[in-house]
Amino acid sequence: MFEKETLVNRTNSSFLSKVYGWMTVGLALTASVAYYISSQPKIVAAIFNNFAVILVLFFVQIALVAALSFYISKMSFSLAALTFIGYSILSGVTLSSIFLVYTQSSIAVTFFVAAGMFAAMALYGYLTKSDLSSMGSFLFMAVIGLAIALLINMFLKSEMFDYIISGIGVIIFSLLTAYDMQQIKLIGSQMSLAGEDQSKISIICALKLYLDFINLFLYLLRFMGKKNND
């Protein structure tokens, strides 16, 4: 019995290490690409002065996330890894725009605050004895509502409404971090797969945490970011 429990713990630990390893790779690629592109005026102009390019980037990113989410079981590990890496790089391209709006110092401070909040919520999700699964459908609907609110405010252009949306966004993605972490822990504890299959599952789990962190960071940046023209 003890040996079986030890084996489960080792499997869970190995699985979580893979998840956080892939998440770290994704964030490192995104940050590096974003910083590099922001320092290249010609590339910035080519991307952000052309609405068609922005639209293509947006839809390609959605397609890559959809591919990983719905077809990862049919992918080889190599293809799944390349898809995740490709998504991380494209996210860096689109997120390079934040360097045009906010100062580097405020971006750095916000990043560390987001990292602290993310770590705290992930730890809570991992350690809590409470069942967070009931939050799943609520958080899914909350994300959809948040997206609709952002779309509406594109026309209203209300600064106060934007702050409210940002505050709600921080709360939603903080809770999502805890929820996803608990679900990933559960997957790891029940993991009977090994090798390539386990590695593929770790990639999709890493994508979930990656998206939680990026969104938490971006909503915090709307509060904490100091604009270049201030």
Which amino acid would we find at residue 67?
Answer: A
Q: Which residue has the higher pLDDT, 191 or 120?
A: 120
Listed by start position, the domains of the chain span 2-224
pLDDT at 192: 62
* pLDDT, average across residues 204-210: 96
What is the three-state SS of the chain? CHHHHHHHHHHHHHHHHHHHHHHHHHHHHHHHHHHHHHCCHHHHHHHHCCHHHHHHHHHHHHHHHHHHHHHHHHCCHHHHHHHHHHHHHHHHHHHCCHHHHECHHHHHHHHHHHHHHHHHHHHHHHHCCCCCCCHHHHHHHHHHHHHHHHHHHHHHCCHHHHHHHHHHHHHHHHHHHHHHHHHHHHHHHCCCCCHHHHHHHHHHHHHHHHHHHHHHHHHHHHHHCCECCC
Q: How far apart are CA 43 and CA 227, in angstroms?
A: 21
pLDDT at 5: 44
Q: Model-level pTM?
A: 0.92
pLDDT at 10: 57
| pLDDT, tens digit (0-9, with 9 covering 90-100), for 63-80 | 999 999 999 989 999 999
Mean pLDDT of the chain: 91
* List of residues 6+ apart from 158 with CB closer than 8 A: none
Q: Is the pLDDT of residue 4 over 60?
A: no
| pLDDT, tens digit (0-9, with 9 covering 90-100), for 162-192 | 999 999 999 999 999 999 999 999 988 876 6
